[in-house]
Amino acid sequence: MCGIVGYIGFRRADKVAVSALKRLEYRGYDSWGVAVKSNDEIKVYKRVGAIGDVSQFELCEGTISIGHTRWATHGKPSDVNAHPHTDCNGKIAVVHNGIISNFQKLRESLEREGHVFKSETDTEVIPHLIEKFIDSGLDFENAVKETLKHLKGSYAFVALSSTEDKLVACKYKSPLILGIGDNEYFVASDVPAILEYTNRVVYLHDGDTVVLTRDSYEIYKDGKKVNREVEIVPWSVEQAEKGGFEHFMLKEIHETPKVIEDTLLEYVSDEIELDVGFTAGISDVIFVACGTSYHASLIGKYLIEKLDEIPVRVEYASEFNYHNAPLSRSLVIGITQSGETADTLEALRKAQKFGARTLAITNVLGSSVTRIADVILYTRAGPEICVAATKTFIAQLIVLYVIALRLSLLSRSEVNEILADLKLLPEKVRAILDMEDYIRKIAEELANYENMMYIGRGLGYPIALEGALKMKEISYIHAEGYPAGELKHGPFALLGKQTPVVACVLRDETYDTMLGNIKEVKARNSPVVALTDENDSEAEKFVDYVIKVPSTNVLLTPVTYSVVLQLLAYYAARSRGCEIDKPRHLAKSVTVE
């Protein structure tokens, strides 16, 4: 999970690379580096830690560069393991995202041939292979293409030669886009890297190799030149900036009302405009997802089973990949914010292999999942920079509501009633944002603890799971989500004055039982924070803090409650002085299995 960039044009290439990398730092931030071609030499600069600026380096005024921001997979974060990596003579430089699964075998073979390696990384075999094939008589471009025949695993990489004014970039199971400017070209892992310079992009396909010169680009696949559509990115560079907020996470939480409106506009006018022909004849639905998207899937399961009476199961994509049963009447839905989550992509391929129809829900136009799934539904959240998913999670929920309501067995009037409530959600979320100072004060109390629990029943359970995930990933407080009824089967042993509990209390059939569970928790002396409906006057009698959430249809409470929990996590992390947008060890787009 790394970010890569390449540039060829007329600008100072080192500055372009660093600027682009800063917009990709959510993809990796344990080390970084750039390489610039200047006067038939390649100057390589790399460092451990967060991205700095070119003033750290000897100035280099070349106009061709590559850059990389790293999230370590092979070898600890260090200057020597940072990218770019070069061949023996420093004539070839490469930046790479992905994993070369056969690198050890390749490395041993190259070492026997006399190649000397400097790093622990899998990436370093790539420039050495290119060097080998150049020495055998191939030119740079064809040496790269020959190298591809020997690589196994996943990769998006950009190669730079000291002897040629061109870049060669290749993609297989890792994200890579081509940016088209005026007399300049870019390649990058994600769109925000290049929005400062152009909004014209080509979304490269698996197996594509793109050759960039100062005057043109050419894309090849299977040895043949191919054409790919140039698309206009519907985001502005300002949308990828903080806009006056202290952190991207807070900005993105505040963008949630608009995200709900934009995603609804995509699928709902006076009625739901969604062709559900892809569901004809299905016997069941299987969700495959990871992390936050897995929690969205749990909510999707609840909605589809309740409204549509279709059996649903939810599986971690990484575990579904060991599935070996026929799925000829199943609809497999993969949810992936980035469209590049390796486990989810592989799960969808696996599902197709066993005969399933596949649907993907993603936020990124042209991402890898859009070339795998049979049907694509887009969330309209815009770019999300913070590693922790906030507005994209809510957008996923909105799409799941649309699907569930479109397939619903409810009467037209009942569906319209829920749709009307859906359209009011932006207003409800704005009311929650108006409560921000109150939520912050509670969060600052929670920031003093090292362990927490989140509990809920029914729809409240996946809300609790997602709330706990947000808290642990950005504040580093150990937080776990449980069905409230499960506490007595072990977790009660952990309760006490130093273990606060956040309770998601819904005004549905679980309400009275949840109040009983809260009383059980209080009997073990744990502080309790309850999220409940603004009209509920009962729950506050039994808890230490209550956050009253604007009333809505109980089916929609995952949206409103989740925004509260995102703010709780944000302000707890802020109080603890954590690096909120780039939590340690994590990356935004998990492109390795």
Tens digits of residue pLDDT in 152-207 = 888 999 999 999 999 999 999 888 999 999 999 999 998 889 999 999 999 999 99
Residues 480/455, Cβ–Cβ less than 8 Å: no
Is residue 240 over pLDDT 80? no
User: Do 3-238 and 242-424 share a fold?
Assistant: no
Task: Give the CATH fold of the 435-593 domain.
Answer: Rossmann fold (3.40.50)
Is residue 592 over pLDDT 60? no
Its CATH architecture, for the domain 3-238, is 4-Layer Sandwich (3.60)
Q: What is the pLDDT of residue 52?
A: 74
Tokens 């409940």 belong to 532
Residue 48, beta-bridge partner list: 31
41-50, 57-66, 499-508, 543-552: range with lowest mean pLDDT = 57-66
**Domain ranges within the chain, ordered by starting residue:** 3-238, 242-424, 435-593
**Strand-pair category, 208-212 with 41-48:** unpaired
Q: What is the pLDDT of residue 588?
A: 62
Q: What is the pLDDT of residue 1?
A: 58
Q: What is the mean pLDDT of the chain?
A: 92
Annotated catalytic residue, options 2, 60, 290, 504: 2
pLDDT grade for 58, boundaries at 50, 70 and 90:
low
Say whether 588 is catalytic: yes
Tokens 């062709």 belong to 275
3-class state of residue 297 by DSSP:
helix
Helices (H) and strands (E) in the chain, counts: 15, 25
**Dist CA 554 CA 558 (whole Å):** 8
Please report, to the nearest 10 degrees, the dihedral formed by the alpha carbons of residues 138, 141, 144, 148 taken in order.
Answer: -100
Task: Give the CATH fold of the 242-424 domain.
Answer: Rossmann fold (3.40.50)
Q: What is the DSSP letter of 18?
A: H
Annotated catalytic residue, options 22, 251, 301, 588: 588
**Dist CA 14 CA 482 (whole Å):** 49
Alpha carbon of residue 1 to chain centroid: 10
Q: Over the stretch 331-377, which tens digit does the pLDDT of each residue have? A: 999 999 989 898 999 999 999 999 999 999 998 877 889 999 999 99
Alpha helices in 447-525 (DSSP H): 460-475, 511-522
The residue ranges of DSSP E strands in 163-240, in sequence order, are 167-172, 177-180, 185-188, 200-203, 208-212, 217-221, 224-226, 231-232
Residues 31/47, Cβ–Cβ less than 8 Å: yes
